[in-house]
């Protein structure tokens, strides 16, 4: 195992993705470069943990440098359940994003297998398996192609337990799908459809931001007694790299994580844009000369609280409302288009809970209400400059 040298950012050993690393990810302080920091990741609960204090449980644990696809693969392999099967299009050779590399060899083709190219079939098949109490880990190759399975997910998986009053359930179903933009994905390799599933009561929706998060949240999703859609931001598969604890651990669903503390403004985001928010915060306090005229000195010292929502449904309203009641300002950042998006739901709920504490309108920094456009992506995405601008305007409101 290669230990990381402290004081110096390390580089991924993986090939660079076609879109190139995003500078915000490569330099992010949210990624854990050393075993010590990784093991102290807040919210980790080791499967073999005996006490309630995770810091005492760190002794002797190992970590390994992983990118997100490796962490996903690690989580699947660790599910420790003979009934668990992994299936989808092209998963047997390792998957088009390598998330299932070597699993077929390790667990056999009966447990890791390709399906014909039918998303409604994949979802239906997984529901059938899960209804029999088997752990079904299904993959939809891109979140953009989950829509043929919309009926199976919304009408069947989500309502399975309710309609039979618990006689049957598909709690052991997890549907993984790569999501969000990748720099050059156009309409159908870029989408963030989490908002569409927010109204599918009975489903949970989870989106990780890093390898440590992906592993812990995926293990929780696989073991959660409800069907979970687990959306993996595909640009992070290779670009986000950190030391990941090797043991079996979970990160609780339904809990947001506060990444930076502040009292002046709350930003809520998830997945890839979390890193854009980090960059925007750096630009706010230390604007590069070209942007300095746009960043008034009065806001540069603003303390911003950045929250990674992690679970989209049921989302952690308590953490967000507590934060906004303290800061009086909220910006929600997501890649999906604005109208009917998750930000609208969060905005309405926070407006209700924090009305008397709000000092500025809730601001949404999102994709525009267009399909994700191929050659215009830089102008479509909620990138650091758009977030920075919203931060300045909200602080100056």
- Site membership for other proteins, residue 130 (CB under 8 A): yes
Of the candidates 379, 384, 210, the one whose C-alpha atom is nearest the C-alpha of residue 286 is 384
- Site membership for other proteins, residue 93 (CB under 8 A): no
Query: Other CB atoms closer than 10 Å to residue 378's CB: what's the count?
Result: 9
Among 49, 83, 258, 351, binds other proteins (CB under 8 A): 83
- Site membership for other proteins, residue 163 (CB under 8 A): yes
Task: Tell me what percent of the chain is helix, strand and coil, each rounded to the nearest 5.
Answer: 35, 20, 45
Answer yes or no: 189 catalytic. Answer: yes
**How far is residue 163's CA from residue 86's CA, in Å, rounded to a whole number?**
27
* Residue placing its CB nearer to other proteins in the complex, 27 or 83: 83
Answer yes or no: 119 catalytic. Answer: yes
- Site membership for other proteins, residue 110 (CB under 8 A): yes
Both tokens of residue 338?
């604005």
* Residue placing its CB nearer to other proteins in the complex, 4 or 169: 169
- Site membership for other proteins, residue 81 (CB under 8 A): no
Q: Using the rule CB under 8 A, give the single segment among 110-118, 214-222, 243-251, 365-373 that binds other proteins.
A: 110-118
- Site membership for other proteins, residue 141 (CB under 8 A): no
Separation in Å, CA 305 to CA 92, 243, 260, 288, 321: 42, 25, 5, 22, 12
Q: Tell me whether residue 360 is exposed, middle or buried, using C-beta atoms within 10 angstroms of its C-beta: 0 to 12, 13 to 18, 19 or more.
A: middle
Pair 346, 320: CB distance under 8 Å: yes
- Site membership for other proteins, residue 339 (CB under 8 A): no
The single residue of 57, 139, 156, 189 carrying the catalytic annotation is: 189
- Site membership for other proteins, residue 325 (CB under 8 A): no
* Residue placing its CB nearer to other proteins in the complex, 42 or 108: 108
Using the 8-state DSSP alphabet, how is residue 16 labeled? P
Positions in 169-198 near other proteins (CB under 8 A): 169, 171
**How far is residue 18's CA from residue 306's CA, in Å, rounded to a whole number?**
29
Pair 202, 158: CB distance under 8 Å: yes
Both tokens of residue 206?
């989870």
Q: Using the rule CB under 8 A, give the single segment among 160-168, 179-187, 256-264, 266-274 that binds other proteins.
A: 160-168
- Which residues share a beta bridge with 114? 88
Size of the site for other proteins (CB under 8 A): 50
- Site membership for other proteins, residue 43 (CB under 8 A): no
Pair 227, 174: CB distance under 8 Å: yes
Length of the chain as a residue count: 397
Among 89, 224, 257, 278, binds other proteins (CB under 8 A): 224
Query: Least distance in Å: CB of 110 to other proteins?
Result: 7
Residues annotated as catalytic are: 119, 189
Q: Which residues of this protein are in contact with other proteins, per CB under 8 A?
A: 83, 85, 87, 110, 113, 115-116, 118, 120-121, 123-134, 136, 148, 151-152, 155-156, 159-169, 171, 201-202, 204, 224-226, 254, 314, 317-318
């Amino acid at each position: 195992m290669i230990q990381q040298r402290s004081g110096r950012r390390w580089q991924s050993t993986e090939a660079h993705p076609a879109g190139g690393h995003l500078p915000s990810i490569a330099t992010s302080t949210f990624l854990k470069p050393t075993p010590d920091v990784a093991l102290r990741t807040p919210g980790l609960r080791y499967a073999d943990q005996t006490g309630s204090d995770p810091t005492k449980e760190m002794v002797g644990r190992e970590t390994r440098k992983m990118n997100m696809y490796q962490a996903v693969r690690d989580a699947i392999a660790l599910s420790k359940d003979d009934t668990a099967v992994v299936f989808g299009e092209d998963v047997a050779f390792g998957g088009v994003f390598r998330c299932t590399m070597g699993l077929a060899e390790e667990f056999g083709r009966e447990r890791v297998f390709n399906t014909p190219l039918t998303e409604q079939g994949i979802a239906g098949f997984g529901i059938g398996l899960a209804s029999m109490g088997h752990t079904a880990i299904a993959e939809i190759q891109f979140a953009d192609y989950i829509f043929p399975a919309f009926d199976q997910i919304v009408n069947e998986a989500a309502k399975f337990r309710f309609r039979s009053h618990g006689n049957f359930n598909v709690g052991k179903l997890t549907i993984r799908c790569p999501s969000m933009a990748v720099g050059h994905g156009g309409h159908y390799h870029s989408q963030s459809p989490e908002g569409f599933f927010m109204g599918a009561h009975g489903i949970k929706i989870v989106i990780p931001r890093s390898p440590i998060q992906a592993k812990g949240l995926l293990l929780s999703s696989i073991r959660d007694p409800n069907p979970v859609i687990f959306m993996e931001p595909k640009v992070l598969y290779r670009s986000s790299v950190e030391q990941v604890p090797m043991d079996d651990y979970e990160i609780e669903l339904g809990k947001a994580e506060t990444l930076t503390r502040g009292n002046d403004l709350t930003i809520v985001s998830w997945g890839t844009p979390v890193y854009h928010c980090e960059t925007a915060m750096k630009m706010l306090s230390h604007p590069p000369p070209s942007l300095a005229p746009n960043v008034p000195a009065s806001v540069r010292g603003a303390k911003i609280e950045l929250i990674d929502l992690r679970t989209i449904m049921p989302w952690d309203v308590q953490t967000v409302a507590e934060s906004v009641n303290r800061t009086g300002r909220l910006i929600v950042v997501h890649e999906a288009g604005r109208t009917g998006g998750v930000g609208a739901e969060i905005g309405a709920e926070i407006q209700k809970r924090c009305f008397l504490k709000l000092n500025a309108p809730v601001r949404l920094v999102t994709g525009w209400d267009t399909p994700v456009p191929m050659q215009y992506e830089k102008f479509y995405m909620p990138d650091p400059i758009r977030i920075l601008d919203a931060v300045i305007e909200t602080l100056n409101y």
